[in-house]
C-alpha cells in the first residue's frame, strides 16, 4: 500500500507538498494511468532507468523544496539517447543548485516522453462547505484564458462524469476537430470517477492537479501531477 | 424532532407582549389566529393576561410540558438565560427570533456559541437565532401580522432572512398567489439548517415543491447528498446568495485558482437536479409553475398568440432558453384549416380565427387543438388585456381548456395592464401561472421542461 506509506512519510517530514513521483505513485495505485516516472539519484541511474523505459525520455528535478521545476531549469524534455540524458542530468543539477542553493534535491525523475495528445486538466480541491470537489477541463490555453472547466461534488457517479465532459464549451475539441484525433472520453470519465473515489476514501488531501493529462484516441495518461496535503 | 416545530401540542412565547404592534404581541396574535389548537403560554414577568391567555412569569412556572418555545427577547444575554431555563424544563425545540448573535460578530458570536452548547448538552433543536421561524396553517411564529389563514397548499419556502421570508409569506398569503403550506426562516442556522428541512419536507408526502433561498450553505456535502435524493422525487428550487467569483480561495494548485464559490454551487445544483432561480420573484414564480402544472415529457412548445410580432419575440426567447417550437402535425393543421387563411403554424397566430369566429370560440377550438397535438409537450399562451379576455377569464374558459388538455401551460400578459391587470394577472393568476412579461414566463416554462424531461428520462 504505497499510498499510505507515502502519506505517512510526508506527515512525518511535516510536508504538505508531495513530489511528482509520489503523486503519480498514489494516482497510479488509485487506478489512474500516469506516465512511468522513476527516481534516479545519480547520473548513472538516470541512464539505466532511461534505457529501461526507452528513449526519448524527460528528466525533471525531484525536490520537495522546488515546486516550480521549469523556473529552476529543472526540466529537460525529448532526450533521445544516453549522451543527452547525461548532459541533461548535469545541467539540471547545476541550474537547480543555483536557483535554490538550500534545496534538498533527491535526484531527478525519469519519465517516458508521452506522445502529444489532446491536452486535459483534471483536479480536485477541498471546499470549506462542500468538501472535496473534482474538476475537468481542456488544458493549456483554454484553461488559462477561458477557464472552460466543470466541477462536481465528491462522490461522483459515472453519470456525473459524463455530464462533466459534456458540459464544457470546448467539448467539440474532445470529439476530434479538424483532423485531430478524438479523445478517449470514456477513459477520461473513468479517470474522474477514480479520482473522486480516491479522494472520498482518503482523508487529508487538500488539492490535486493532473495537468496536463494527454488524451488519445485510445486511452489517456497523466503527464504531470501534483498533490497537496491538508495542513 | 422537526415535528415539534411544525406540529407542537404546546407553545410558550417568551417576551410576549400585550401592546399591539410590539413583536411579542404579533407573535402571540399570529399563533392565536392560526389553526394551532394546543396550549399557548405567553411568558412575561410583568403581565397577567395577553389576548385572553394567562401569562406566566417564566418557562419554569408553566404547568405541564412545553413542546416548543418561541423567544423574542431584547438582549442576547436574556436569550441565553432563557435557553438554560428551557433546558431545565425539558423543552426540546426552540425558535430564537432575536438578533444580536453571530451576524454581529464579536460578543454576538460568543452568545451564539453559548446557545449551541446548551442545546447540544440537552438535546434541544434550535431554529435561528435572527429568524422569524415558521408561517404555516398550524402555527405562525413570524413577526409580520398575518391577515389571512395560510393555505393548506403543496409548496414550502425555506429562507434565511427573517424579514424577507416573513414578508414573502405575508404577501403570498394575502394575495393568494401561491399555494404554500409552510414558510420557514432559519436565520443564523446555529442548529437547524437547510438540510434538516430539506430532508423533512422531502419525506412529507403533502409537499410537492420546495423553494429555498440560502445566503450561506451550512454543509454543502450533505446538501448535495440530500438534495439529489429529494430532487429525484419533487422539484427543489434553489437560490443562493454569495455566488461570487471572489469566493476562490488562495490555492496552491491550478484547480484551486479556478474554483470559485459560484462555480461550485452551480455544479452542486446540476449534480443534484435542483432548479436554479436567479431572484426572489423566480423562487415564487417557479414554485407556482411547478405546483400547479403537470410535468411535461419534453421541451416542445406551442406558442398561442394574437399578434405575429409577439410570436416572433417568444420564439426567440424559447430558442434562447432551450425550448423547441415544432410544426403541428398535418392532422391538426387540417382540422384547423377552415379557420385560417394560411396554413396554421407555430406560433399559432389566432388573429384570423378571431376575426372569423370571435375570441371565445377561437380559444375553445384552436387553442385546445394545437395544445393537444402529439408534437406538443407544453404551451405558452399570450393574452392581451381586452374586454373579451376578461370575459374568457371570468367564465373560466381558459382554465377549463388547460384542465381538459392536461398539459402544462404558462400564460404571459402583454398590453392592457391599466384596465385588465387585475383580471389577468391576479384573478387568472390564482388558477394558472401568469407572468407580466414574456421572458419571465418562457424562463419558468423552460425550468419545468428541463425538470420534466429529466424525470421522464429517469423513469423511462
Q: Is residue A17 part of a domain?
A: no
pLDDT at res. B252: 66
A76 SS3 class: strand
First to last CA, chain B: 37
For the record, the C-alpha cell of B186 comes out as 432559519
Query: End of a domain among A83, A113, A143?
Result: A113
A131 with B221: Cβ contact below 8 A: yes
B255 with A150: Cβ contact below 8 A: no
Give the C-alpha separation, B438 to B398, whole Å.
18
Q: Is residue B363 part of a domain?
A: yes
pLDDT tens profile B28-61: 999 999 999 999 999 999 999 999 999 999 999 9
A130 with B217: Cβ contact below 8 A: yes
CATH code, domain carrying A160: 3.30.470.20
CATH code, domain carrying B334: 3.40.50.261
CA geometry: angle at B103 spanning B102 and B107, to 5°? 45
Q: Is residue A31 part of a domain?
A: no
Q: How far is B255 from chain A (nearest CA, A)?
A: 6
Which residue matches cell numbers 468538501? A131
Give the C-alpha separation, A47 to A40, whole Å.
9
Cα dihedral across residues B47, B48, B52, B54: positive or negative? positive
Count of A-B CB contacts under 8 Å: 81
B76 SS3 class: helix
> Residue B363: which domain range?
294-459
Mean pLDDT over A114-123 rounds to 94
* Residue of chain B nearest A227, judged by CA positions: B253
Report yes or no: B224 and B230 within 8 Å, Cβ to Cβ. no
Alpha-carbon separation of residue A137 from A26, A167, B251 (angstroms): 22, 9, 18
Q: Is residue B31 part of a domain?
A: no
Same domain for A122 and A221?
yes
Same domain for A59 and A131?
no
Which residue matches cell numbers 477520461? A188
- CB contact A125 to B (< 8 Å): yes
Same domain for A52 and A91?
yes
Task: Tell me the pLDDT of chain B averaged across its residues.
Answer: 92
Task: Tell me the pLDDT of chain A averaged across its residues.
Answer: 94
Give the C-alpha separation, B364 to B362, whole Å.
5
Q: Is residue B362 part of a domain?
A: yes
Alpha-carbon separation of residue B13 from B27, B59, B248, B405 (angstroms): 8, 9, 43, 49
Q: Is residue B203 part of a domain?
A: no
Q: Is residue B94 part of a domain?
A: no
* Residue of chain B nearest A67, judged by CA positions: B252
Same domain for A130 and A194?
yes
Q: How many other β-carbons are positioned within 10 Å of the β-carbon of residue A53?
A: 18
Residues of B in contact with A162 (CB under 8 A): none
A209 with B264: Cβ contact below 8 A: no
A153 with B271: Cβ contact below 8 A: yes
Same domain for A141 and A216?
yes
Same domain for A140 and A225?
yes
CATH code, domain carrying A56: 3.30.1490.20
Same domain for A130 and A217?
yes
Residues of B in contact with A209 (CB under 8 A): 253-255
- CB contact A55 to B (< 8 Å): no
Report yes or no: A226 and A109 within 8 Å, Cβ to Cβ. no
pLDDT tens profile B214-259: 988 999 999 999 999 999 999 999 998 765 554 444 556 777 777 7
> Residue A123: which domain range?
118-229
pLDDT of B405 above 90: yes
First to last CA, chain A: 22
Query: From the candidates B238, B254, B269, which should be mutated to test the interface with A, based on the most A CB atoms within 10 A?
Result: B254
Give the C-alpha separation, A137 to A34, whole Å.
18
- Give the closest residue to B451 by CA, choosing from B302, B200, B234, B225: B234
Give chain A's domain count: 2
pLDDT at res. B247: 43
Q: Is residue A10 part of a domain?
A: no
Q: Is residue B239 part of a domain?
A: no
Write out the H or E segment, with its range, that includes residue A125.
strand A118-127
Give chain B's domain count: 1
Report yes or no: B8 and B93 within 8 Å, Cβ to Cβ. yes
Report DSSP state, residue B296.
Answer: P
Which residue matches cell numbers 421561524? B133
A41 SS3 class: coil
pLDDT tens profile B78-95: 999 999 999 999 999 999
Query: End of a domain among A60, A92, A113?
Result: A113
Query: From the candidates B189, B256, B257, B269, which should be mutated to test the interface with A, based on the most A CB atoms within 10 A?
Result: B256
Same domain for A54 and A103?
yes
Same domain for A129 and A108?
no
B255 with A121: Cβ contact below 8 A: yes
Q: Is residue A177 part of a domain?
A: yes
Q: Is residue A3 part of a domain?
A: no
pLDDT at res. B246: 47
B253 with A208: Cβ contact below 8 A: yes
Q: Is residue B89 part of a domain?
A: no
| Rounded-to-10 torsion of CA A224, A7, A25, A111 | 50
pLDDT of B336 above 60: yes
pLDDT tens profile A77-110: 999 999 999 999 999 999 999 999 999 999 999 9
pLDDT at res. B250: 53
For residues B403-422, one letter each, b for 16 or more C-beta atoms within 10 angstroms of the residue's C-beta and e for the rest, the string is eebebbbbbbbbebeeebee
Query: End of a domain among A91, A113, A135?
Result: A113
Answer with the residue of higher pLDDT: A100 or B260: A100
Same domain for A172 and A210?
yes
pLDDT tens profile B282-319: 999 999 999 999 999 999 999 999 887 888 899 999 99
Same domain for A100 and A137?
no
Residue A1's pLDDT band, with cuts at 50, 70 and 90, is low
pLDDT at res. B172: 87
Q: Is residue B414 part of a domain?
A: yes
Q: Is residue A146 part of a domain?
A: yes
Q: Is residue A208 part of a domain?
A: yes
Residue A11's pLDDT band, with cuts at 50, 70 and 90, is very high
Same domain for A78 and A148?
no
Alpha-carbon separation of residue B128 from B63, B241, B275 (angstroms): 26, 18, 26
Strands of the sheet with A37-40, listed across from one edge:
A37-40, A105-112, A57-63, A75-79
Give the C-alpha separation, B24 to A162, whole Å.
54
pLDDT of A204 above 70: yes
B27 SS3 class: helix
Amino acid at each position: 500500500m504505497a499510498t499510505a506509506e507515502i502519506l505517512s512519510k510526508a506527515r512525518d517530514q511535516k510536508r504538505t507538498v508531495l513530489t511528482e513521483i509520489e503523486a503519480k505513485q498514489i494516482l497510479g495505485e488509485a487506478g489512474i494511468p500516469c506516465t512511468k516516472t522513476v527516481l534516479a539519484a545519480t547520473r548513472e541511474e538516470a541512464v539505466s532507468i532511461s534505457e529501461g523505459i526507452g528513449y526519448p525520455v524527460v528528466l525533471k528535478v525531484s525536490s520537495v523544496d522546488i515546486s516550480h521545476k521549469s523556473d529552476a531549469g529543472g526540466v529537460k524534455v525529448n532526450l533521445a539517447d544516453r549522451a543527452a540524458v547525461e548532459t541533461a542530468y548535469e545541467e539540471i543539477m547545476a541550474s537547480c543548485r543555483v536557483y535554490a542553493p538550500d534545496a534538498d534535491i533527491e535526484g531527478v525523475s525519469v519519465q517516458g516522453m508521452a506522445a502529444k495528445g489532446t491536452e486535459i486538466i483534471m483536479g480536485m480541491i477541498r471546499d470549506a462547505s462542500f468538501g472535496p470537489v473534482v474538476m475537468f477541463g481542456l488544458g493549456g490555453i483554454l484553461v488559462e484564458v477561458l477557464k472552460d472547466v466543470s466541477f462536481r461534488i465528491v462522490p461522483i457517479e459515472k453519470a456525473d462524469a459524463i455530464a462533466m465532459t459534456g458540459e464544457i464549451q470546448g467539448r467539440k475539441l474532445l470529439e476530434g476537430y479538424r483532423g485531430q484525433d478524438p479523445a478517449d472520453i470514456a477513459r477520461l470519465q473513468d479517470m474522474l470517477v477514480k479520482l473522486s473515489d480516491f479522494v472520498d476514501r482518503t482523508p487529508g488531501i487538500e488539492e490535486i492537479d493532473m495537468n496536463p493529462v494527454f488524451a488519445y484516441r485510445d486511452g489517456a495518461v497523466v503527464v504531470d501531477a501534483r498533490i497537496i496535503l491538508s495542513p | 424532532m422537526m415535528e415539534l416545530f411544525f406540529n407542537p401540542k404546546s407553545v410558550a412565547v417568551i417576551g410576549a407582549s400585550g401592546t399591539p404592534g410590539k413583536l411579542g404581541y404579533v407573535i402571540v396574535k399570529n399563533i392565536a389566529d392560526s389553526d394551532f389548537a394546543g396550549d399557548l403560554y405567553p411568558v412575561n414577568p410583568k403581565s397577567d393576561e395577553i389576548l385572553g391567555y394567562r401569562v406566566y412569569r417564566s418557562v419554569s412556572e408553566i404547568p405541564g410540558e412545553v413542546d416548543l418555545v418561541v423567544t423574542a427577547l431584547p438582549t442576547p444575554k436574556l436569550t441565553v438565560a432563557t435557553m438554560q431555563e428551557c433546558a431545565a424544563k425539558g423543552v426540546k425545540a426552540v425558535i430564537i427570533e432575536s438578533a444580536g448573535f453571530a451576524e454581529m460578530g464579536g460578543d454576538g458570536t460568543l452568545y451564539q456559541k453559548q446557545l449551541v452548547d446548551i442545546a447540544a448538552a440537552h438535546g434541544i433543536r434550535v431554529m435561528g437565532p435572527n429568524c422569524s421561524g415558521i408561517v404555516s396553517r398550524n402555527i405562525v411564529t413570524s413577526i409580520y401580522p398575518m391577515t389571512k389563514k395560510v393555505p393548506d397548499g403543496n409548496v414550502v419556502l425555506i429562507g434565511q432572512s427573517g424579514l424577507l421570508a416573513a414578508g414573502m409569506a405575508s404577501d403570498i398569503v394575502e394575495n393568494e398567489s401561491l399555494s404554500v403550506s409552510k414558510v420557514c426562516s432559519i436565520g443564523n442556522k446555529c442548529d437547524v439548517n437547510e438540510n434538516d428541512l430539506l430532508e423533512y419536507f422531502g419525506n412529507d408526502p403533502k409537499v410537492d415543491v420546495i423553494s429555498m433561498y440560502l445566503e450561506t450553505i451550512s454543509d454543502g456535502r450533505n446538501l448535495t447528498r440530500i438534495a439529489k435524493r429529494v430532487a429525484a422525487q419533487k422539484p427543489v428550487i434553489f437560490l443562493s446568495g454569495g455566488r461570487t467569483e471572489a469566493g476562490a480561495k488562495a490555492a496552491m494548485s491550478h484547480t484551486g485558482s479556478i474554483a470559485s464559490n459560484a462555480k461550485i454551487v452551480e455544479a452542486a445544483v446540476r449534480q443534484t437536479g435542483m432548479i436554479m432561480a436567479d431572484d426572489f420573484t423566480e423562487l415564487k414564480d417557479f414554485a407556482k409553475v411547478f405546483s400547479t402544472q403537470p410535468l411535461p415529457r419534453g421541451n416542445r412548445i406551442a406558442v398561442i398568440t394574437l399578434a405575429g410580432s409577439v410570436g416572433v419575440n417568444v420564439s426567440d426567447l424559447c430558442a434562447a432558453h432551450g425550448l423547441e417550437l415544432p410544426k403541428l402535425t398535418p392532422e391538426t393543421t387540417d382540422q384547423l384549416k377552415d379557420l385560417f387563411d394560411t396554413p396554421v403554424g407555430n406560433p399559432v397566430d389566432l388573429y384570423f380565427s378571431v376575426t372569423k369566429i370571435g375570441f371565445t370560440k377561437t380559444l375553445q377550438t384552436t387553442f385546445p387543438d394545437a395544445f393537444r397535438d402529439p408534437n406538443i409537450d407544453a404551451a405558452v399562451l399570450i393574452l392581451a388585456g381586452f374586454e373579451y379576455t376578461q370575459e374568457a377569464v371570468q367564465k373560466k374558459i381558459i382554465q377549463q381548456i388547460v384542465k381538459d388538455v392536461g398539459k402544462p401551460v404558462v400564460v404571459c400578459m402583454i398590453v392592457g395592464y391599466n384596465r385588465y391587470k387585475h383580471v389577468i394577472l391576479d384573478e387568472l393568476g390564482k388558477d394558472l401561472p401568469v407572468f407580466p412579461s414574456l421572458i419571465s414566463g418562457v424562463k419558468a416554462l423552460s425550468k419545468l421542461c428541463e425538470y420534466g424531461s429529466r424525470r421522464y428520462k429517469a423513469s423511462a
